[in-house]
Amino acid sequence: MTLGGGIGWLQRKYGLTIDQLLSVDMITADGELVEAGDRVNPELFWGVRGGGGNFGIVSEFEYRLNPLGPTVLAGPIMWPMEDAPDVLRFYRDWITDVPDELMTMAVFRRAPELPVIPPELHGRHVVFVIVCYAGPIADGEAVVRPMREHGSPLLDLCAPKPFRAHQAMFDPSFPHGRWYYFRACDVAALTDEIIDITTEHGLRIKSPHSTFGCFHRGGAIGRVGENETAFGGRGAGHTFNFNGTTETARGYDEERQAARDVWQALEPYHTGVYSNFVMDEDRDRLRSAYGPSKYARLQDLKRQLDPDNLFRLNQNIPPG
């Protein structure tokens, strides 16, 4: 996750995971143990911060630590999916001037059968806005209030909780052994068209496990220059991940197609893609994760370090 960039609940306050990476130790295709950091092998350090596992096997990551909580205001607020066009227009306007402490996600899905969700809501098509405020609880309450008071939420589980509990919130929704497929894209902003297309497709979700997630970007991510690390698309407004998931092979083809369909319907608005969210797509897709000049620079680095493409079972950047 780190080598592709690393997006998560603290990204607007502290940046991507790679923005907290100080150095790596790695084993190259020649079997050499090398270090890379700002002062040692800086070009390799540039490449591993977004370029994935293409350049060697990392045996040690050194990260900067930051203060946090440990209690944060966090959790999901849920509305009927039919209300998503209104809820997400409000959401889009609300997030334009929230502080970087606040990270949010919108998720379209059928309400999962989890103990925290009342049984009468299980299976209903809903849209969540999930928040995490990485600062004082009282400040977070004031920032989040307009969103939780908008419209008629079916459920509001936003409350002070240990950050680690919030961080593990998605775990029950993605157990090992299910059939997963995803397609992803970045977009500049949540326009009316994007909201309406996503809702239209969201209302057709069949599987109780499929999700359309939309990560809120900005904040600290965009304060690092686009060319300072290999990661591409720091200026994106949102990252979508359309997930088609089933319990077994049954129904999987249909869910996979549904994920492809919504992704395709949004194609006119794609600005790029997060490399860690690229699955079975062709090589050009990965090129669009980095843009042509960064992709060429990554290929040069690959040519120097791994000309035979030993490390190829990954989001592969073949030597030029």
Q: Which residues of 300-314 are buried (b: 16+ CB within 10 A; e: fewer)?
A: ebbeebbeeeebeee
Residues in the chain: 320
Candidate list 66, 227, 257, 314; residue touching ligand FAD; CB under 6 A: 314
Question: Does position 214 bind ligand FAD by CB under 6 A?
Answer: no
Question: Does position 104 bind ligand FAD by CB under 6 A?
Answer: no
Question: Does position 31 bind ligand FAD by CB under 6 A?
Answer: no
> What is the distance between the alpha carbons of residues 172 and 112, in angstroms, rounded to a whole number?
10
> What is the distance between the alpha carbons of residues 65 and 17, in angstroms, rounded to a whole number?
11
Between 36 and 187, whose beta carbon lies closer to ligand FAD?
36
Question: Does position 313 bind ligand FAD by CB under 6 A?
Answer: yes
Place of tokens 């992704």: 263
Candidate list 3, 78, 81, 221; residue touching ligand FAD; CB under 6 A: 3
Among candidate residues 275, 290, 301, 316, the one with its CA nearest the CA of residue 5 = 275
Question: Does position 58 bind ligand FAD by CB under 6 A?
Answer: yes
Span 34-53, contacts to ligand FAD by CB under 6 A: 52-53
Residue 41 contacts residue 34 (beta carbons within 8 Å): yes
Question: Does position 57 bind ligand FAD by CB under 6 A?
Answer: yes
- To ligand FAD, the closest distance from the beta carbon of 36 in angstroms equals 12
Residue 212 pairs in a beta bridge with 108, 242
Candidate list 211, 246, 276, 288; residue touching ligand FAD; CB under 6 A: 276
- Tell me the CA end-to-end span of the chain in Å, nearest whole number: 24
Question: Does position 318 bind ligand FAD by CB under 6 A?
Answer: no
Binding site for ligand FAD (CB under 6 A): 1, 3-4, 6-8, 52-53, 57-58, 174, 276, 313-314
